[in-house]
């Protein structure tokens, strides 16, 4: 069929069931946008490309589908890169489309030319530059396939302007062949048998569940496994929500700002069943001191994760859902476990170190704010976070019970992620409430996109934990640098209520604990974009904390 490149591109995206694209047009993407104008695909015009990438990321995390973002050549593409890296670090499937200068201009330092392929090589799972109209359908299909299969990740397609404009004879393939790409889905059954034996013979087992459990939709299997053998469960930040945190076996997140009970329990374990996690330094603390007595069963779809940060005694390469299913089948014959000494010890940790949230002070203490927000939050509602103290207060104190309801920038730690991710989330599930637990520093990095939220009618709530500081850095300066607050005070501007209003959003300020829940409730019910400026104690710290370079058992506070 004879058609233009831009048409082939839009048709290919429609064939991948793309519903929405977040982006900003520019000189090198005008032909594409011209065709998009008549397409059924919704385009959400953002105000900065970083927001486009994060929104696609948030959309993907909540929906489980591939998120799509688009930017023009040069600065458009370079603005996307933070968002692409964020998706890469957290293994989120997105496809980024970038315009490029015409093929004959490439390499001439043309206007708005950047080496997008070179720049994005180390931050994408793969990238493509289109060189002909005819290859468009095949490459789009490959891009989506690579993004969503195996260990998911971002894929970028760079599209020179002339390729969008030229006509070609287009056929849409039903199948594609990628000789060097064959992810291992089923785990080796002998390894799984050995793992089962190890688990049954262990005295102090613990499950460490990461983001991979959510990505492979293995949460039900995880719950079954834990309940069958009464194994306590801790998660990483990325795994938060994959196991109900209200469950008696749940201990919450491990890590630098994890729950004490979780850190202590994993430290004491004699067997760690690690599923879909990569033992990041923020999760393990000093790796030399991590779980000294534990053998580790490491289940991951990416063989390169095994043995990268910690030594695995028993590796299983495969998709978490498949591996857990096989494990459950093998375990069916073994009888249900009774409560052990280990379970009792873990329960004691839980009782002893239950988080305290009932602060009454004004200005408010963040744990109390979280407690008040939780009064309004339903279990299906979506929480996104910015990065820094707000993120750690949320991950530590907020209870989540379902997967894909806690959306946070884990690996890259990108300030300015939460608000765009909330936009993407709300677009994915408009019927659910979406709230961004924000810090004032993070939110200011992307606040211009209040314009997008209002114009496109994406009613999210931004709850700013407002301490006028780059709080996490300030906390480290307080604890480890003699309170020398070098460049961390942000000043008393802006007035976030007025800022919100300037964009046509609702703005509310709350200063007392009993004002928080009604403000959030009202914000959800208003179905309008709302910024809640929550004034918190300026020098509130995230505690407890594992100081840098220490083991998980050396928590302070």
Partner 1 sequence: MNERYILSVLVEDKPGVMQRVSGLFRRRNFNIDSITVGHSEKKGISRITLTVAGDRKVLEQVMKQLNKLIEVIKVSQLNMEESVVRELALVKVRTKNEAIRSELISYANIFRARIVDVSRDSMIIEITGDEDKIDAFIDLVKTYGIIELARTGVTAMIRGAKREVKK
Contact set with partner 1 (CB under 8 A): 117-118, 121-122, 125-126, 129, 146, 178-181, 302-304, 306-308
Which of residues 306 and 446 has its CB atom nearest to partner 1 in the complex?
Answer: 306
CB of 140 to partner 1, least distance (A): 15
Q: Which of 415, 472, 545, 555 is catalytic?
A: 472
Which of residues 126 and 166 has its CB atom nearest to partner 1 in the complex?
Answer: 126
Which of residues 118 and 491 has its CB atom nearest to partner 1 in the complex?
Answer: 118
Q: Find where tokens 């607050």 sit.
A: 485
Which of residues 139 and 253 has its CB atom nearest to partner 1 in the complex?
Answer: 139
Structure token pair of residue 371? 């407690």
Strand 406-407's sheet: what is its strand order? 406-407, 382-385, 434-439, 461-466, 530-535, 506-510
Q: Which of 112, 432, 521, 528 is catalytic?
A: 112
Structure token pair of residue 393? 């207060």
Measure CA 248 to chain center.
Answer: 26
- Percentages (nearest 5) of helix, strand, coil residues in the chain: 40, 20, 40
Which of residues 40 and 118 has its CB atom nearest to partner 1 in the complex?
Answer: 118
Ranges of H-type helices in 68-215: 75-89, 116-120, 136-148, 161-165, 189-201, 211-215
Which of residues 40 and 180 has its CB atom nearest to partner 1 in the complex?
Answer: 180
CB of 183 to partner 1, least distance (A): 10
CB of 302 to partner 1, least distance (A): 7
Taken in order 305, 306, 312, 317, the sign of the CA dihedral is: positive
Which of residues 183 and 363 has its CB atom nearest to partner 1 in the complex?
Answer: 183
Cβ atoms of residues 273 and 208 within 8 Å: yes
Q: What Rg do the C-alpha atoms of the chain give, in angstroms?
A: 24
CB of 436 to partner 1, least distance (A): 32
Q: Is residue 49 annotated as part of the catalytic site, yes or no?
A: yes
Structure token pair of residue 66? 């591939």
Tell me how many degrees the CA angle 408-378-499 measures, rounded to the nearest 5: 60
- The tally of CA atoms less than 13 A away on the side-chain side of residue 551 is 11
CB of 188 to partner 1, least distance (A): 15
Q: Annotate 29-58 with three-state secondary structure.
A: HHHHHHHHCCCCCEEEECCCHHHHHHHHHH
Nearest to 275 by CA among 315, 247, 307: 315
Cβ atoms of residues 236 and 254 within 8 Å: yes
Nearest to 71 by CA among 114, 8, 102: 114
Q: Which of 4, 7, 22, 49 is catalytic?
A: 49
CB of 215 to partner 1, least distance (A): 16
CB of 124 to partner 1, least distance (A): 10
Q: Is residue 472 annotated as part of the catalytic site, yes or no?
A: yes
Residues acting as catalytic residues: 49, 111-112, 161, 472
């Amino acid at each position: 069929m004879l058609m233009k490149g831009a048409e082939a591109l839009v048709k290919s995206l429609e064939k991948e069931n793309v519903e929405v694209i977040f982006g900003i047009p520019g000189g090198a993407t005008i032909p594409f946008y011209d065709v998009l104008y008549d397409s059924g695909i919704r385009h959400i015009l953002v105000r900065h490309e970083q927001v486009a990438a994060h929104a696609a990321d948030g959309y993907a995390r909540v929906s489980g589908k591939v998120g799509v973002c688009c930017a023009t050549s040069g600065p458009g593409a370079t603005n996307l890169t933070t968002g692409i890296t964020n998706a890469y670090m957290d293994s989120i499937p997105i496809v980024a489309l970038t315009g490029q200068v015409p093929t004959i201009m490439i390499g001439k330092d043309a206007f708005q030319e950047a080496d997008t392929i070179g720049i994005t090589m180390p931050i994408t799972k793969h990238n493509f530059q289109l060189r002909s109209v005819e290859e468009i359908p095949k490459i789009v299909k490959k891009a989506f396939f690579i993004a969503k299969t195996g260990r998911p990740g971002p894929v970028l397609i760079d599209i020179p302007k002339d390729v969008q404009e030229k006509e070609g004879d287009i056929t849409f393939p039903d199948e594609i062949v990628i000789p060097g790409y064959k992810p291992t889905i089923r785990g080796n059954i002998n390894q799984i048998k050995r793992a089962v034996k190890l688990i049954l013979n262990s005295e102090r087992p613990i499950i460490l569940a990461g983001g991979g459990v959510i990505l492979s939709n293995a949460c039900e299997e995880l719950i079954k496994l834990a309940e069958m053998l009464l194994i306590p469960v801790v998660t990483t930040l990325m795994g938060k929500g994959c196991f109900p945190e209200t469950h008696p076996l749940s201990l919450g997140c491990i890590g630098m700002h994890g729950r004490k009970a979780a850190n202590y329990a994993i430290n004491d374990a004699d067997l760690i069943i690690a599923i879909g996690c990569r033992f990041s330094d923020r999760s393990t603390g000093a790796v030399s001191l991590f779980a000294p007595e534990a053998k580790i069963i490491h289940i991951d779809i990416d063989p390169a994760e095994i043995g990268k940060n910690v030594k695995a005694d028993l590796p299983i390469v495969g998709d978490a859902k498949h591996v857990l299913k096989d494990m459950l089948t093998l375990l069916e014959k073994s009888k249900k476990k009774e409560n052990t000494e280990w379970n009792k010890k873990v329960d004691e940790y839980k009782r002893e170190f239950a988080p305290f949230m009932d602060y009454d002070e004004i200005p408010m203490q963040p744990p109390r704010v979280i407690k008040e927000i939780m009064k309004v939050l339903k279990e299906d509602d979506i929480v996104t976070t910015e990065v820094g103290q707000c993120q750690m207060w949320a991950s530590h104190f907020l209870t989540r019970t379902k997967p894909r309801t806690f959306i946070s920038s884990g690996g890259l730690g990108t300030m300015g992620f939460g608000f765009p991710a909330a936009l993407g989330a709300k677009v994915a599930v408009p019927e659910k409430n979406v709230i961004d637990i924000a810090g004032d520093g993070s939110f200011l990095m992307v606040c211009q996109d209040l314009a997008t939220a209002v114009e496109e009618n994406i009613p999210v709530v931004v709850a700013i934990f407002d301490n006028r500081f780059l709080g996490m850095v300030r906390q480290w300066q307080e604890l480890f640098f003699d309170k020398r607050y070098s460049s961390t005070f942000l000043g008393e501007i802006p007035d976030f209520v007025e800022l919100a209003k300037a964009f046509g959003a609702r703005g509310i300020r709350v200063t007392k604990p009993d004002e928080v829940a009604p403000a959030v409730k009202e914000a959800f019910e208003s179905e309008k974009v709302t910024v809640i400026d929550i004034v918190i104690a300026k020098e509130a710290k995230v505690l407890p904390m594992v100081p840098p370079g220490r083991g998980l058992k050396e928590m302070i506070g």
